[in-house]
Amino acid sequence: MTPGSLFRAVAKRLAGAVAVLLGAATVAFTALQLIPGDPVTVMLGPGTAATPEIKAQIREQYGLDQPVALQYLHYLGNLLRGDLGESYQLQRPVAGLIGDQLWPTVQLALAALALAVVLAVTAAVATAGRRPALRAVASLLELLTVSSPPYWIGILLLTAFSFQLRIFPVAGDQDLSALVLPAVTLALPLTGVLAQVLREGLEAALGQPFAVTARSRGLSVTAVRLKHALRHAAVPLVTLVGWLTGSLLGGAVLVETVFARPGIGALTLQGTTNKDMPLVIGVVLLSAFVFVLLSTLVDLLYTVIDPRLRTG
């Protein structure tokens, strides 16, 4: 492979990423146009009587009197400068509001992700290719975790560990112990999916000649699984990166509500109930950005690692 073809593949991937982001911004702008009712009235909130002059002034201030195409370009320009607009309800820049609530959600998401990966790898390595009874139990557990609504898992955990056993705090994000139950709640559904994909990958890898060779070189069964098969089994997980980000962010809305935690999810729900479109749009754009960033990075890494993918 020449450097030229690698460059072309990378450029193509980056162009695709930019296109998806532009699409997301367009969807966002369209959603803003779809708000029922006059945006100025929504902005002022119910019960505020404003003279037509004041309304016209607001309209001019926000550029709402310009043609839609111009508003669209203006909107894109603002996004490029990191300006996500202003919240209708809270009268503050959306970017600032999100920034204030980002850390608790990032903490929660990272803790849940780490927990899910550890649990899934352990479960998959322990059960792949074992006796049918053991695998049946494992797949039943996987099915159970993907069938349980996260908000219900949260309520069960709260009942057992916070109200009955009093081990963990009921709500809030004061210290690390308050992170445990929300992280477990968010992690369990992910664990089910990850474990299933990993187990199937492991079983495929263990049947390959390289696994047999490694075993015949005298490596223990566990060593073959951990050092050789697991790497191969992890490849399909990469395509799940997008799904993972989505589940973590979407799940945060529910989990933060159950545990009364502050964060992006709680902010989004507040925005939804208040019909605060710019705020929710801001969160949507942020999640699209994170999704595109992660999946592009992963794809690029793979183009560099695996020469077979450089044909594009």
Partner 1 sequence: MTSIDTAPAPDTARPLPAGRSRLRLPRAAGGPTLVLASAVLALIVLAGVAPGLFTSTSPIETDPVNALVAPGGAHWFGTDQLGRDLFSRVLYGARPSLLLGLGATLFAVAGGALLGIAAALGGKYADQALMRLADVLLSLPPILLALLAVIVLGTGSGNVMAAIAIAFVPGYARIVRAETLVVRRSGYVEAAVGLGLPRPLLIVRHVLPNALGPMLVLATVGFGSSLIAASGLSFLGLGPEPPSPEWGAMLSQGRGFLATAWWIGVFPGAAITLTALVVNAVGRRAQARFTRRTTR
The residues binding partner 1 (CB under 8 A) are 19-20, 23-24, 26-27, 31, 34-36, 132, 136, 143-144, 146-152, 155-156, 158-159, 162-164, 170, 242, 245-247, 249-251, 253-254, 257-258, 268-269, 271-273, 275, 277, 280-281, 283-284, 287-288, 291-292
Minimum distance between the CB of residue 137 and partner 1, rounded to whole angstroms? 11
Per this entry, what is the length of the chain? 312
Minimum distance between the CB of residue 254 and partner 1, rounded to whole angstroms? 6
Nearer to partner 1, 101 or 268 (CB): 268
Q: Is the CA virtual torsion 145, 146, 147, 148 positive or negative?
A: positive
Minimum distance between the CB of residue 266 and partner 1, rounded to whole angstroms? 11
298 burial (CB, 10 Å; 0-12 / 13-18 / 19+) is middle
Nearer to partner 1, 81 or 166 (CB): 166
Nearer to partner 1, 2 or 163 (CB): 163
Which stretches of the chain are DSSP H helices? 3-33, 39-44, 52-61, 68-80, 94-127, 132-147, 150-157, 177-206, 209-216, 221-223, 230-238, 241-258, 264-273, 277-305
Nearer to partner 1, 211 or 280 (CB): 280
Minimum distance between the CB of residue 281 and partner 1, rounded to whole angstroms? 7
Q: Which whole-number Å values give the CA distances from 159 to 111, 162, 167, 181, 257, in the listed order? A: 21, 6, 11, 11, 15
As given in the structure block, the two tokens for residue 91 are 């009268």
Bridge partner residues of 93 (DSSP): 86
Nearer to partner 1, 206 or 292 (CB): 292
Minimum distance between the CB of residue 155 and partner 1, rounded to whole angstroms? 4
Nearer to partner 1, 27 or 226 (CB): 27
Residue among 240, 223, 242 at smallest CA distance from 231: 223
Which stretches of 239-276 are DSSP H helices? 241-258, 264-273
Minimum distance between the CB of residue 201 and partner 1, rounded to whole angstroms? 18
